[in-house]
């Protein structure tokens, strides 16, 4: 069971330090935990979580190892910092920054080749779900990926991110089961995961963990979700 906290554009280095100092004091046996700070807070998170089982991942990574790519960060730079992995293709990257299935594929491949663990995000918009295109969208997004021991997929229905809406357990299970018919990987659920719904979502047969957004910003709520995951029989 993997619980990853995506901090998005929150937590300065000082705020990240406070969070990580608190997190390292928590008992989180029985679950794999990852935090994903903004680039400027990665180093302090790596330093303060050293010696624990908690991993640190970035929120994006470029496919080239160096070059004239202003504003981008390479996998080798992340690895030198001690970063374990990267999120790729989050819906906000697709929505606001022009990420495509093709660039997601390049980022995933580059990161895996460089030795990073990758959480690749997929998911449909509300409009796509309403017109019955969910499986078509997921099939397209997954078609550019290949199974890898260091790759997991996060299913994040776009209509449930930052909206307070959450896919029902039935909807989440159906989507996760469909993903696994196309790609042999673990699948996380991402979309308004909170302490009060975590157990129901994480207990589904084909849900292997969670990519947590807003609820990962407060230590108590993130720890509660991690502990909910730890209580699910493996």
Three-class SS state of 199: helix
Catalytic, 156? Answer yes
Question: Which of 62, 90, 92, 176 is the catalytic position?
Answer: 90
Find the catalytic residue in 62, 124, 156, 176.
156
Please give the Cα distance from 49 to 37 (Å, whole number).
12
Task: Please give the full DSSP string across 50-87, using - where no structure is assigned.
Answer: TTSS-EEEES--BSSSSSS-TT--BHHHHHHHT--EEE
Phi and psi for 46 in degrees, rounded to 5?
Answer: -60, -45
φ, ψ for residue 20, nearest 5 deg: -65, -35
Cα distance between residue 138 and residue 182, in whole Å: 9
| 62 included as an active-site residue | no
Q: Which residues contact 63 (CB under 8 A, 6 or more apart)?
A: 103, 106, 107, 109, 110, 111
The residues carrying an active-site annotation are: 90, 156
């Amino acid at each position: 069971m993997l619980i990853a906290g995506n901090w998005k554009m929150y937590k300065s280095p000082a705020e990240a330090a406070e969070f990580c100092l608190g997190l390292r004091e928590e008992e989180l046996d029985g679950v794999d935990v990852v935090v994903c700070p903004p680039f400027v807070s990665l180093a302090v998170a790596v330093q303060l979580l050293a010696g624990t089982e908690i991993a640190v991942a970035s929120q994006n990574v470029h496919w080239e190892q160096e070059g004239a790519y202003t504003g981008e960060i390479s996998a080798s730079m992340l690895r030198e910092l001690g970063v374990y992995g990267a999120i790729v293709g989050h819906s906000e990257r697709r929505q606001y920054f022009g990420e495509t299935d093709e660039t997601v594929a390049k980022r995933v491949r580059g990161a895996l080749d460089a030795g990073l663990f990758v959480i690749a995000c997929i998911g449909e918009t509300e409009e796509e779900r309403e017109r019955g295109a969910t499986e078509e969208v997921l099939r397209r997004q997954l078609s550019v990926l290949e199974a890898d021991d260091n790759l997991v997929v996060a299913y994040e229905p776009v209509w449930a991110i930052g909206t307070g809406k959450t896919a029902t357990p039935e909807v989440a299970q159906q989507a996760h089961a469909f993903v696994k018919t196309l790609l042999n990987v673990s699948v996380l659920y991402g979309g308004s995961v909170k302490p009060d719904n975590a157990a129901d979502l994480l207990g589904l047969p084909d849900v292997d963990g969670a990519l947590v957004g807003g609820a990962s910003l407060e230590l108590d709520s993130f720890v509660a979700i991690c502990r909910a995951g730890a209580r699910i029989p493996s």
